[in-house]
C-alpha cells in the first residue's frame, strides 16, 4: 500500500464518521431505550468432577422489535479436586450472541427470550475453551432494574490437554437494567 492510499482510506473514514454524527444525535434517545445491561452469576451441573461457575456481564442492543444482539464477558471458574484437595482453574471469556423475544407482543410485565451465545477464552487461562450456549431467559419488562433468570444448555469445547469436552445444564441469576 502506498502512503496516498492510506491517507485516502483515513480521509474516507473521517468523512463517513462526520456524516453519521447528525443521525446519531437524532437517534440518541432511541438508542438509550434500545440498550440493556445484565450482571449475573451462574453454575452448571457437575461433570467428571468439575463444577463450572461463571460471572457474566452482557450488553444488549435491540436490532428489531423482536430480536437483539449482545456482547458478553465472563469470568469462568472451574471447581474440582486435585489429589483430594479442593482446587480451581480460572479464565476470562468474551463473545456474543443473539436473542429473540418470545413474549414481545404480549401485554404484561413478564418477558421470555430465547438466546444463543458463543464465547472463547482470552489470553492464557488454565482452561482454554470455546463455549456454546442455548437458553431461555425470564425477566420483568421495566425501565429500572429487573431480576433475570436464565436456564439453558452449555457445551464446553475444551482446548486444554487432559480436560474433555462436555455439555451440561446451567442456571444463572442476575440483574438487568
Residue 175 pLDDT: 96
Residues 57-104 have pLDDT tens digits of 999 999 888 999 999 999 999 998 888 899 998 999 999 999 999 987
Spatial CA neighbour of 74 closest among 48, 99, 96 = 96
- Answer yes or no: is pLDDT of 25 > 50: no
* The three three-digit cell numbers of residue 116, written as one number: 444463543
Other CB atoms within a 10 A radius of the CB of residue 89 amount to: 16
Q: pLDDT category, 13, cuts 50, 70, 90?
A: low
Q: What is the mean pLDDT of the chain?
A: 86
pTM: 0.78
From the number of C-beta atoms within 10 Å of its C-beta (0-12, 13-18, 19+), residue 113 rates as buried
Averaged pLDDT for residues 140-159: 92
Amino acid at each position: 500500500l502506498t502512503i496516498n492510499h492510506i491517507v485516502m482510506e483515513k480521509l474516507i473514514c473521517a468523512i463517513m464518521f462526520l456524516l453519521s454524527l447528525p443521525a446519531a444525535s437524532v437517534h440518541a434517545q432511541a438508542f438509550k431505550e434500545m440498550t440493556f445491561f445484565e450482571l449475573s452469576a451462574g453454575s452448571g451441573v457437575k461433570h467428571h468432577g468439575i463444577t463450572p461457575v461463571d460471572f457474566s456481564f452482557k450488553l444488549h442492543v435491540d436490532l428489531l422489535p423482536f430480536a437483539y444482539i449482545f456482547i458478553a464477558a465472563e469470568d469462568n471458574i472451574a471447581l474440582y479436586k486435585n489429589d483430594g484437595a479442593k482446587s480451581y482453574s480460572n479464565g476470562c471469556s468474551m463473545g456474543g450472541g443473539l436473542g429473540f423475544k418470545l413474549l414481545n407482543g404480549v401485554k404484561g410485565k413478564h418477558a421470555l427470550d430465547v438466546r444463543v451465545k458463543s464465547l472463547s477464552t482470552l489470553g492464557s487461562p488454565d482452561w482454554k475453551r470455546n463455549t456454546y450456549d442455548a437458553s431461555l431467559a425470564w425477566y420483568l419488562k421495566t425501565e429500572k432494574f429487573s431480576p433475570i433468570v436464565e436456564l439453558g444448555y452449555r457445551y464446553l469445547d475444551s482446548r486444554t490437554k487432559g480436560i474433555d469436552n462436555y455439555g451440561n445444564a446451567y442456571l444463572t441469576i442476575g440483574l438487568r437494567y
